[in-house]
Amino acid sequence: MRVVVLGAGFAGLELTTTLSAEFGDGAEIVLIDESEAFVFGFSKLDVMFGRTNPGAVFHPYRNLDKPGVRFVQTTIHSIDPVAKRIDTDAGTFDADIIVIALGADLDPSATPGLVEAGHEFYTVAGAFALREVLANFDGGRVIVGVTAAPFKCPPAPSETALLMHTYLTERGIRAASTISLVMPLGVPIPPSPAASTALLAAFAERGISWHPGSIVDRLDRERNTAVLRDGTELPFDLFLGVPRHHAPRVVVDAGLTVDGWIPVNPLTLETAYPDVYAVGDVTSVGTPKAGVFAEGQASVVAQEIIARVKSGDAPATYDGHGTCYLEFGDDLVGRVDVTFLSGQAPVGDLEGPSLAIAADKVEFGSSRVARWFG
Ligand SMILES: Cc1cc2nc3c(=O)[nH]c(=O)nc-3n(C[C@H](O)[C@H](O)[C@H](O)COP(=O)(O)OP(=O)(O)OC[C@H]3O[C@@H](n4cnc5c(N)ncnc54)[C@H](O)[C@@H]3O)c2cc1C
């Protein structure tokens, strides 16, 4: 059975690792990605705030060495979900099973003024460029603002505001600065009231002004002002934006999306096409767009494929569970355990923040690197 996995992010790496561990050289798995290397989303914040070097967070795909898995670095141009054929710069791939794990693309140019007057910290290039911008910042009015929903890792803008507080404090320019956070959500982390309460308290303690239920519609570059959807104007010296997200064009062109994202069976991750699965940020499965959920979904699909090949029992269905780490600044990290069960209100608890959980977060990243690339 030839499995072609599109995208080597959180989901694609987890899926191929599990299949390789099960089938070894007996597997025929092709993993396709146009990038040279994997970068964790949270590493973007580490680089931007000078907590690590850019070179330390690239995990090159050339180091992938999994029995039965062939990595191909190329751009995917079309997906035929009926013929199960994929066209790329490196030729055509025919599959028995396709798993689409192409994530969400980002479009800073969709927000008027963002490219000209602001910065974004969601792409690798944007976050890495901000490292120097921040190092040269002398203080002033900082806005962390979301420009559209849905967006990856809903805690990330809150984390960025808190890390900004620590960064400016350590540089001795916090008193000369203000920090505002503009978010479309009513509370920072809707499924976890405990985490939301802790974050709102942290914002209040640190003098971070919180603008819930808002979206930044555009930046007025003449007046260095962010214009919110309700007409509110916030002047800034430094704007850090979360750009508009959309499914990769190749997925839209394949006719796989409804309302912008790929609908899937929330229990099995099957698309409307037989033998075509979709996992992670590219779907509208109902969990937030985050690596931990992408990984959990990939794991379910891997077990499904293993059961099919071995004619085994149907595997467990997707339970919508994920553990997210939450940066509070001052090197403290909290942990939120959330479950999104289909048809039920999501629930989540907060642990910490603490230095011990900060160490667990480091282990979370390094254990993935060891498993996926080791
Ligand atoms: C600042 C920030 C902080 C974050 N922090 C966290 C966190 O702490 N915890 C967490 O769980 N999540 C976090 N995330 C979110 C996380 O990074 C994503 O949700 C996760 O990577 C999604 O996994 P995925 O496999 O669905 O897609 P991705 O990891 O985005 O992988 C998709 C892959 O598809 C490839 N691709 C796309 N189109 C094509 C094409 N046409 N041809 C070839 N290849 C293509 C891309 O190159 C990419 O490698 C964060 C994100 C950001 C931006």
**pLDDT, tens digit, for every residue of 299-340?**
999 999 999 999 888 889 999 999 999 999 999 999 999 998
Average pLDDT (48-62) is 97
Cβ-based neighbour number of residue 141 at 10 Å: 17
342: pLDDT strictly greater than 80: no
Strands 69-73 and 28-33: parallel
The pLDDT score that the predictor gives to residue 240 is 98
Residue of 36, 281, 318, 357 to mutate, ligand 1, most atoms within 8 A of C-beta: 281
Give the model's confidence band at 347: pLDDT under 50 very low, under 70 low, under 90 confident, else very high. confident
Residue of 39, 131, 153, 285 to test ligand 1 pocket, by largest number of atoms within 8 Å of CB = 153
The rounded distance, in Å, linking the Cα atoms of 154 and 184 is 10
Within 13 Å and on the Cβ side, how many CA atoms surround 64? 31
Query: Which residue ranges have their beta carbon within 6 Å of ligand 1?
Result: 7-12, 32-35, 41-42, 44-45, 75-76, 101-103, 122, 152-153, 156, 248, 250, 280-281, 289-292, 294, 324-325
**pLDDT mean over 199-220:** 98
pLDDT band with cut points at 50, 70 and 90 for residue 93: very high
Q: What is the pLDDT of residue 315?
A: 87
The protein residue whose alpha carbon is closest to atom 44 in ligand 1 is 33
pLDDT score, position 341: 78
Pocket test for ligand 1, best of 4, 6, 10, 128 (most atoms within 8 A of CB): 10
Q: Is it the case that residue 87 has pLDDT exceeding 90?
A: yes
Tell whether the model's pLDDT for residue 344 goes beyond 80: no
Q: How confident is the model at residue 343 (pLDDT cuts 50, 70, 90)?
A: confident
- Pairwise CA distance, residues 309 & 288, whole Å: 31
Which of 58-72, 304-318, 347-361 is the least confident region?
304-318
Mean pLDDT of 90-102: 98
Q: Using the 8-state DSSP alphabet, how is residue 364 labeled?
A: H
User: What mean pLDDT is reported for the chain?
Assistant: 96
Mean pLDDT, residues 354-364 taken together? 98
Mean pLDDT of 92-96: 98
Give the Å distance between the CA of 11 and the centre of ligand 1: 8
Distance between Cα 336 and ligand 1 center (Å): 20
So what's the pLDDT on residue 340?
Answer: 86
